[in-house]
Amino acid sequence: MRILVTGGAGFIGSHYVRSLLLGSYPGYEDARVVVLDKLTYAGNLGNLAPLAGHLGYTFVQGDITDQRLLREVVPGCDVIVNFAAETHVDRSIAGAGDFVTTNVLGTQRLLQAALEGGVRTVVQVSTDEVYGSIAQGSWSESAPLLPNSPYSAAKAGGDLICRAYHRTHGLDVRVTRCCNNYGPYQYPEKLIPLFATNLLDGGKVPLYGDGLNVREWLHVDDHCRAIQIVLEKGSPGEVYNIGGGVELTNRELTGWLLAAVGAGWEAVEHVPDRLGHDRRYSLDCGKIQAIGYEPRVDISEGLAEVVRWYRDHQDWWRPLKGQAG
């Protein structure tokens, strides 16, 4: 089987590729994986270094909006898993153009190439942020898409173009919508690695607004296993929520991270709230549970392990910190 993983040099995509090729998904040990990644600021070949010399792994630097390249790379692939995206909400507030180009147009071009290239299945990796914000209860997959940031609006555009390619052309495309991820190799602009690395340096951490925004957190390994379950057991044209069941306010999460590095609340700097900041996300995961998904990583153990990872891998994140700003 030949699998094209777009955005596979980023945080989650690289975890998926390492898991697949290093034997975490039975039956896929012999898969051939082509990683196609533009290597934006968020893409990092160091994330794929554990695969150096692996016979099943090929890397192609390129853009998912590049139709000519897609016509070369896509034919012959059985499966595409699309992680490629602009992903940082704050960057989308500062400038949304790249978000629309990659997350909407890039998704459409990839689907068109999949259709023309005879790809069997496409998995589009999306986010719970497309649903907007929910005060109480949880979203099922049929909840309306009400995105509030340019990032989530562009991801919602990608989701809708997936729906259209399934409905119009019969392409087998499945969409996953996951909550916030944490784990190793996450670019240090995102909350957990930003806070962990600032605190490890004895610095301050910026907490938005009143700190009471609620997010559901999932270890990246559980997310990738869920994507694999959708690939193996999901159905064409369907959407699957992937949650962790652990909701924390940003204040609670900050408290856990402070404790993990032995810092106090004096390290926290309150900063003005993010524009359009969603208050709460929460997913109903009954649909994916019905095909065999359950998260495995306990949040307290997972967070402690991740803080240890950033402590032990300063050679990975220090060069990125300056760029992250």
Q: Which stretch binds ligand NAD (CB under 6 A): 23-31, 32-40, 136-144, 249-257?
A: 32-40
Which residue, 83 or 195, has its beta carbon nearer to ligand NAD?
Answer: 83
**Contact (CB, 8 A) for 203 and 209:** no
Say whether residue 81 binds ligand NAD (CB under 6 A): no
**Please, what is the minimum distance in Å from the beta carbon of residue 246 to ligand NAD?**
14
- Give the shortest CB-36-to-ligand NAD separation in angstroms: 6
Query: Residue 7, interface with ligand NAD (CB under 6 A)?
Result: yes
**Residue 243 CB, nearest distance to ligand NAD (Å)?**
10
Q: Which is nearer to ligand NAD, 85 or 246 (CB)?
A: 85
Question: Burial letters for 113-135: b for 16+ Cβ neighbours within 10 Å, e otherwise?
Answer: bbbebebebbbbbbbbbbbbbbe
Say which residue the tokens 């995206």 belong to.
Answer: 85
Q: Which helix (H) or strand (E) holds 262?
A: none
Rounded to 10 deg, the angle between the 299-312 and 250-261 helix axes is 50
CB 239 within 8 A of CB 175: yes
What is the rounded CA–CA span in Å between residue 84 and residue 312?
A: 28
Q: How many residues bind ligand NAD (CB under 6 A)?
A: 30
Distance separating alpha carbons of residues 175 and 241, to the nearest angstrom: 9
- For ligand NAD, the closer of residues 25 and 151 by Cβ is 151
- Residue whose CB is nearest to ligand NAD in the complex, by number: 10
- Our finding on whether 154 is near ligand NAD (CB under 6 A) is no
Q: Residue from 4, 10, 138, 234 that binds ligand NAD (CB under 6 A)?
A: 10
Per CB under 6 A, 83 contacts ligand NAD: yes
What is the DSSP secondary structure assignment for residue 323, as one 8-state letter? Answer: H
Amino acid at 93: I
Judged by CB, which is closer to ligand NAD: 25, or 185? 185
Q: Is the CB of residue 181 less than 8 Å from the CB of residue 187? A: no
Considering the complex, what minimum distance in angstroms separates the CB of residue 302 from ligand NAD? 13
- Report the chain's C-alpha Rg in angstroms: 19
Q: Does 122 bind ligand NAD (CB under 6 A)?
A: no
Strand partners, 249: 214
Which range binds ligand NAD by CB under 6 A, 177-185, 254-262, 276-284, 310-318? 177-185
Q: Which stretch binds ligand NAD (CB under 6 A): 7-15, 204-212, 267-275, 294-302?
A: 7-15
Q: Report whether 3 contacts 38 (CB < 8 A).
A: no
Catalytic residue set: 128-129, 151
Neighbours of 234 (CB within 10 A): 23
How remote is the C-alpha of 150 from its chain's centroid?
Answer: 16
Contact flag: residue 18 with ligand NAD (CB under 6 A): no
149 vs 180 by CB, closer to ligand NAD = 180
From CA 272, how far away is CA 78, in angstroms rounded? 47
Q: Does 178 bind ligand NAD (CB under 6 A)?
A: yes
- Please report whether residue 110 would count as binding ligand NAD according to CB under 6 A: no
CB-nearer residue toward ligand NAD: 13 or 184: 13
Q: Angle at which helices 250-261 and 191-200 pack, to 10 degrees?
A: 30
Told to check if 6 binds ligand NAD by CB under 6 A, we report: yes
SS3 for 138?
coil
Find the binding residues for ligand NAD in span 37-66 (CB under 6 A): 37-40, 42-43, 63-65
* List of residues contacting ligand NAD (CB under 6 A): 6-7, 9-13, 37-40, 42-43, 63-65, 83-87, 102, 106, 125, 127, 155, 178, 180-181, 187
